[in-house]
Amino acid sequence: MQQLGTLEELPLAYRDGLTERAMVPLWPLMRAALPYDKPHRACTPHVWSWSEVRPNLLKAGDFTPIEKAERRVLILSNPGLGLDKLRATPSIFIGMQMILPGEFAPTHKHSPSAIRMVIEGKGGWTTVQGERCPMEKGDLILTPSGLWHEHGHDGKDPVIWMDALDLPAVAGLEASYAIEGNIQNTKPDADSSQTRYIRAGLVPFASLGQNRQRYPMFRFPWKDVKESLHALATITPKNSAVQLAYVNPETGEECMPVLGFSALMLRPGETLRPNRRSSSAVFHVIEGSGEANVDGKHLRFEDNDVVAIPTHADIEVSNRSTSKPCYLFQVDDAPMQRKLGFFEEFN
């Protein structure tokens, strides 16, 4: 391996001159910018346990009314990256949000794209671009870049969900901003998952024509995903992944441009050893418990926990229950990596 020149080898006056003129020599930094064989990863495998998240969200409800928060969110910040970086992984923002009965989280739209994965509580709703989406446990709701959204709660107990945003990428481009809006006029219809896209393989005839929507379906109900996982399981060999990707029902493509979403069922006693991938990921435990080994770090997870997986990680994940399935919701940055041309999966 070639030994590259260091900063210290350069005359001080030359270095100072470069600094004054806002210039930096690359060669002392070359291996930091382009390490050989595997990227440098500051992100660490990490579990945020629900037993610690939930009571702290409830306390936030006591301390901070929604009017003082706009969104009452605790950010899950990867300790390896630094808590001030607001990243669960280098590309994925994860927040845990709580809304209390009668509260309203006001209308806005912004350049980052977001999703919600509903964890707890009944009676919550999100309106996306005029479409009212009920929030039930395990439902995935998209709020793509630039679309108006607001949240409300007509039920009795706190409603809690996980937010995932592509904020790190958008903020890294210095392109993150929001616009405040007025409360939306809501269409009277049920959301598209209950009207237009009931079954895979069937789309409204008119959608084949000119009026294609970029985001035809905002809500993916958990009851449909769970049923589909069980059907897929019947033809999937033991220790192979029973995994479904959330896609645009009209194009079959990833449903959002930067982050990808999928649901994974670990059958009782099952262990998976997925290929190492160049993407980073976050797992949310929809139901069940298990353990993972991520780059040699042993992690246990329970219902509603959130797990951060660095890029290029070696992973093994197991359902330790011998009677109950474990359902995981995965967020990853593979869509962005594919678009940028460097996504890899290593056999």
Stretch that binds ligand 1HN, among 2-10, 161-169, 269-277, 329-337 (CB under 6 A): 161-169
Find the shortest distance in angstroms from Cβ 271 to ligand 1HN: 34
Residue found by looking up tokens 């706009």 in the block: 70
The answer to whether 219 touches 133, Cβ cutoff 8 Å, is yes
CA angle at 274 for the pair 273 and 276, rounded to the nearest 5°: 115
Find the shortest distance in angstroms from Cβ 166 to ligand 1HN: 10
Number of residues that bind ligand 1HN (CB under 6 A): 12
Considering the complex, state which of residue 54 and residue 149 has its C-beta at the smaller distance from ligand 1HN. 149
β 124-128/178-180 pair status: unpaired
Which of 165, 155, 40, 166 is CA-nearest to residue 99?
A: 155
Stretch that binds ligand 1HN, among 23-31, 163-171, 216-224, 298-306 (CB under 6 A): 163-171
Question: Residue 75: exposed, middle, or buried by beta-carbon count in 10 A (0-12, 13-18, 19+)?
Answer: middle
Considering the complex, state which of residue 99 and residue 244 has its C-beta at the smaller distance from ligand 1HN. 99
What is the rounded CA–CA span in Å between residue 293 and residue 110?
36
Find the shortest distance in angstroms from Cβ 336 to ligand 1HN: 18
Residue among 43, 57, 66, 73 that touches ligand 1HN (CB under 6 A): 73
Considering the complex, state which of residue 110 and residue 277 has its C-beta at the smaller distance from ligand 1HN. 110
Find the shortest distance in angstroms from Cβ 18 to ligand 1HN: 38
- Cα 132 versus chain centre, distance: 22
Helix (H, G, I), strand (E, B) or coil at 141: strand
CA angle at 133 for the pair 131 and 134, rounded to the nearest 5°: 150
What is the rounded CA–CA span in Å between residue 226 and residue 304?
16
Considering the complex, state which of residue 97 and residue 145 has its C-beta at the smaller distance from ligand 1HN. 97
Considering the complex, state which of residue 152 and residue 260 has its C-beta at the smaller distance from ligand 1HN. 152
Considering the complex, state which of residue 115 and residue 255 has its C-beta at the smaller distance from ligand 1HN. 115
Which of 273, 269, 262 is CA-nearest to residue 240?
A: 273
Sign of CA dihedral 167, 212, 330, 341: negative
Q: Which segments of 220-295 does DSSP mark as H helices, in order?
A: 222-233
Considering the complex, state which of residue 95 and residue 144 has its C-beta at the smaller distance from ligand 1HN. 95
51: Cβ–Cβ under 8 A, 6 or more apart, which residues? 302
Find the shortest distance in angstroms from Cβ 212 to ligand 1HN: 26
Stretch that binds ligand 1HN, among 44-52, 159-167, 185-193, 274-282 (CB under 6 A): 159-167
Residue among 117, 135, 147, 165 that touches ligand 1HN (CB under 6 A): 165
x-or-dash pattern for ligand 1HN, window 113-152, by CB under 6 A?
A: -x----------------------------------x-x-
Considering the complex, state which of residue 81 and residue 165 has its C-beta at the smaller distance from ligand 1HN. 165
Residue found by looking up tokens 């809500």 in the block: 219
Residue found by looking up tokens 């100072």 in the block: 16
First to last CA, the chain: 26
Find the shortest distance in angstroms from Cβ 138 to ligand 1HN: 18
Which of 284, 252, 264, 249 is CA-nearest to residue 116?
A: 284
Is residue 71 part of the contact set for ligand 1HN (CB under 6 A)?
A: yes
The answer to whether 319 touches 267, Cβ cutoff 8 Å, is yes
x-or-dash pattern for ligand 1HN, window 79-98, by CB under 6 A?
A: ----------------x-x-
Residue among 53, 94, 167, 334 that touches ligand 1HN (CB under 6 A): 167
Contacts with ligand 1HN by CB under 6 A lie at 71, 73, 95, 97, 105, 110, 114, 149, 151, 163, 165, 167
